[in-house]
Structures are given as C-alpha cells and as structure tokens.
Structure 1
Amino acid sequence: MTTPNHLVIVCGHGIYLGGPQNGHDESEWLIEPYKKGETPTFMAHIKAGADVVNSDPRSVLVFSGAATRPETHLSEAKSYCNLALDNNYFPPTFVGSRVLLEERALDSYFNILFSLILYWRQHPSNHWPERITVVSHEFKRTRLVDGHCAAVGFPLDRVTFLGINPPSLKVEDQASNQLTLGQWEQDPHGASLDLLAKRQKRNIWGVSQALFLDKNEATKAGLEGQIRTSKDGSQTLLDYKGCIRPWAT
C-alpha cells in the first residue's frame, strides 16, 4: 500500500439498517424525525468520501459515528460502510486498510478528533495525516472547520471541506442549525456540562469516550499533558496558549 498522508472523514448523521433498496428507501434508515427527507444527502456524503478514496491512492477514508439508538448496536460508522458496500462505492478489499470505522464519536468535535487518533493508531509508523478532508453538511462548514479543526490545532490551510446540504434546506433553516456554534465558540472542546450531557444522552451503549487506551499511548502520541478528563472518564483536549499538537508539526 502507498504510504497514506490524507485523512478523509465522513461524519455520520443516521443509521442505515440495510434492505432491498440499498438505502434509497428512507424506511431502511433510523433517523430523528427532523431529519426526514435527508437520507439521500447522507448517501451523497458517503459517495463523496468514497470518490476521494477511489481517486487518491494516499487517502484513508474514515466513517465516523457511534451507536446512538436503542433499537440497534449498529454504529453510524458501520452502517455507512455497509451502505457503501451495498452500492459498490469502493472495493470490499478497502475495508480495514483504506476504509476505517470510527465508532465512538457522539458529536462533530469528536468526529474530527477520534478520526485523527484512529488514523494515527492504525498505521505502523504512527504518523499523523498531512491533510484532511471533511465531508458533512455545507451549513456545518463553520462549526467543523473554523470551530473544531481550529480547536484541535489542525492547520486550516491543510483542511478541505466537502459540504452537501439537503436540497430542500432553506436559508433560515441553515441559520437556526448553526446556533449551536455559539456554545462551541465559548467551549471549543465541548468540555462544559451542557455539551457533556448531550454526549452522555446519546451514549446509550456506554462507549468509552477516553481519547487513548492508556497514559503510555497518550505519551507515544505526543499528547501527554494536553488532555482533560471529566468525572465520568470522558476526555477532551486542553486548550492553552503555546500548545502545539503533534499533527501540526
């Protein structure tokens, strides 16, 4: 395999359960009521990520999203990969090498951070990506790039964003959907009780929210002393002046 240098992150927004229509029928999905009509957009996100990994031999595609529904243990990440395979978006041989599953993220900040750590962990040389591409809704561009990518310290000149909105999304709806950015502006790493509580509510299967397996792994990654641990054991990055993340060097 060509040495990878490009991390492609597809953020999960629903759970594809499988079915004869390969995801083209919304009844084959588990989604919140307010996402009705958006499953074709989720499929477009998956296809956009697959197109990058097919065209760039140095890219690694990560589907990111935990299991968030009581009806199934299936994660958003695994379901997205299943849909890609059902629709022949990339060869099955890509799974496990060129396509990875990040199955712990419970919000968009962790879509970025957990995917970075997974990329590092899965490669023998334990190196960080030189650049990343993020695939999500266009209206989340500011939150994901100027918010989360900036917060974790990934150089923004090495970030590409592929934004695909639902065709029916109105301008006023885009504005309302960005209101949560205000919380992230005040709390860039999502460590506040409010954002922590939202993650805890979604974490119905009790998936670990620690960044690393142990202190030794955090040290090996170059992030010892840069991690905040909450009372429930979940972790985020610390934010302080002069902090240089290992993926920024």
Structure 2
Amino acid sequence: MATHRLLVAGHAVYTGVDYSEANKESSWFLEDYQKVKGEAQSFLDHIRLGIEEAALDPEALLLFSGGQTRRAAGPRSEGLSYWVVSEAANWFGHPEVRNRTFTEEHARDSFENLLFSLCRFYELAGHYPETITVVSYTLKEARFRTLHRDAVRWPSEYFRFVGTPVPPEAKGAKEGEARTVASFAADPYGCGGELLAKRLRRDPFAVGPIHPSRCPEMRSLLGYCGPDMFSGRLPWNGL
C-alpha cells in the first residue's frame, strides 16, 4: 500500500524531439531567467533524485507536478514533461518505479505543487499519505518546509525535503526567492497580488485548479483564501 508521497516539483515544459538531448537548455521552454548553463541538467537531476528515492521505498508513490504553464510551449504540462523524459531515460536504471509514478497537471506554483499533489495522491491511492518528501532546489527548502507545509498544516515530523543547488550561473536566484518567500509569508495561499497574477499567467490554456470533487475531504482547504492559516478539519490531522 502506498503511504509515502514523493513530489518532484516541475520547473519547465519539455519541447524537444530528441530525448537524448534532454540535458540541453534548447530542449526546454525556458523563461529568460532560466536560460543559464546547467538549468536543463538540474531538471534531470530532480527527476533522477525523485526516481532514486522512490526506488528505495516500495511504498512510495512518485508524482511529477506542474501544469500547462507556458502558452508558447503549447498545451503540454510540466508534470507530463518530466514523466516522458523519465520514460525515455528508462527511469534512470529503475524501471520498476514506472508503475508507481504519476503526474499532477494543474499546479501553477510551488504551493499548488504541494496542495494539489495531496489531492492527487488521494485520487490514486484512495487515502492520504503518511509521509511527504519534496524534491526541488535547495534554495526553496525553507519555502516548502515552513510556509507551504504550515499552510496545509502537515506535521513537520512527517515531512522531508531533498534537493540540489541552483546552477552556479543562475544570477539573482537568491533575490528572486527572497521576494517569493516574502509574498507567501504575507499571502500563504496565493489569493491575491502578484502571486495570483502569476497563477493566472501560468494558466494560458484555462485548465484551472484541481477540482475538489476529486478529494472531498480537502474541499474547504482547496477553496480557502485569506492571510490567516486555515483552521478547518483536515483528513491528515483530525483537527
């Protein structure tokens, strides 16, 4: 039975045709700030790390999360991009993980990566996970471990984070992360301001958020908006 949710947060859409070149920036649709040497390899590192973590735990369900975020890339999702790159790479030597790997294709930012993948896990497994592991850039660890985890009120003792550094040439990454952290600190659920505007920009095909009918016990949390922490009952803590 799946008890461990492994989440790999997507960062780009794959647009190449030769998957042997997935480590090249030209194979991905990148925003200007992502067009640095080593960016594409960092995506592969996250994919590989998620697969390796899943291979170590037969009760892990691996989710590649990210929606159809770039109009110019077409209606392709980040989550599916990571899945097909994994398939082309023969699951980096762990083909047994394939049957435990799925996509979440609605998330438009890091908070939705965490939130929507909880719903997706329930949809696939029929229950909520006991533990969560997030794979992303180490630069984003505080964002996930504190702000986002607190916002969904997931117990800290059942949360892990593993990651890789941002590429050395990613200038301004620390400053950009500081701005995002400040925004989520003021608006934990991304209800307004630049966080909401960014979500709207990242949904050019009007896919929308994940529908609460897919995880009814999360309905209130999925629809919650406000600067204060959600205080309703949640299926993973009984509060």
Identify whether the pair has TM-score above 0.5, normalized to the shorter chain: yes
1:116 is aligned to 2:118: yes
Query: What TM-score, normalized by structure 1, do the two folds share?
Result: 0.84
| Alpha carbons 2:68, 2:205 under 8 Å: kept | yes
Q: Which residue of 2 aligns with 1:198?
A: 198
Matching residue's letter, 2:237: A
1:247 alignment partner, SS class: coil
Give distance in 2, aligned partners of 1:236 and 1:61.
28
Pick closer, same or farther for the CA change 1:34–1:131 going to 2, 3 Å: same
Matched, 1:245 2:221: no
Contact 2:66/2:113 (<8 A) preserved: yes
Instruction: Encode CA deviations 1:109-132: one digit per residue, 9 max, x unaligned.
Output: 000001000000112xx2110000
Q: Distance in 1 between matches of 2:201 and 2:62?
A: 28
Aligned residue number for residue 50 of structure 2: 49
- Offset at residue 177 of structure 1 (A): 2.3
Amino acid across the alignment from 2:49: A
CA contact (8 A) 1:46 1:84 kept: yes
Q: Secondary structure at the match of 2:218?
A: coil
Which residues of 2 match residues 9-88 of structure 1 at below 5 A?
9-17=7-15, 18-36=17-35, 37=37, 38-70=39-71, 71-88=73-90
Deviation at 1:226, TM superposition (A): 4.2
- CA shift, 1:222, in A, is 2.4
CA distance in 1, matches of 2:12, 2:230: 36
1:222 to 198, 217, 222: 217
Paired with 1:7 and 1:237, the residues of 2 have a C-alpha distance of 27
- Equivalent residue runs for 1:81-96 within 5 Å: 81-89=83-91, 94-95=97-98
Aligned with 2:162: secondary structure?
strand
Instruction: Give the TM-score normalised by structure 2.
Output: 0.88
Would you say 1:182 and 2:182 are equivalent positions?
yes
Q: Quote how far apart the aligned CAs of 1:59 are.
A: 0.1
Give structure 1 stretches of 5+ with no counterpart. Answer: 229-234
Query: Which residue of structure 2 lines up, in the alignment, with residue 141 of structure 1?
Result: 141
Structure 1 16/170 Cα, relative in aligned 2: closer, same or farther at 3 Å?
closer
| 1:66 positional shift | 0.5
SS in 1 for 2:91: coil
Q: CA deviation at 1:79?
A: 0.6
Query: More helix per residue: 1 or 2?
Result: 2
Deviations 1:149-197 (Å, cap 9, x if unpaired)? 1111111111110121134157974244222111111111111243222
Distance across 1 between alignment mates of 2:172 and 2:221: 38
* Deviation at residue 45 of structure 1 after TM alignment: 0.4
* Counterpart residue number, 1:158: 158
The alignment of Structure 1 onto Structure 2 pairs a total of residues equal to 233
2: distance between equivalents of 1:101 and 1:181? 26
Runs of 4+ in 1 over 6 A off after TM superposition: none
Aligned partners of 1:59 and 1:98 also within 8 Å: yes
Q: Percent identity?
A: 31
1-side partners of 2:136 and 2:222: how far apart?
27
SS of 1:223's equivalent? helix
Other structure's SS at 1:142 match: helix
Whole-angstrom CA distance in 2 between matches of 1:189 and 1:101: 22
The residue aligned with 1:8 is 6
- Structure 2 residue runs without a partner (length 5+): none
Question: Is the Cα contact below 8 Å between 2:151 and 2:188 reproduced in 1?
Answer: yes
Whole-angstrom distance in 2 between the partners of 1:128 and 1:210? 16
1:96-115 residue pairs with structure 2 within 5 A?
Answer: 97-115=99-117
Per-residue CA deviations over 1:25-83 (Å, capped at 9, x if unaligned) read 22111111211221111110000000011121000000000011223211100010111
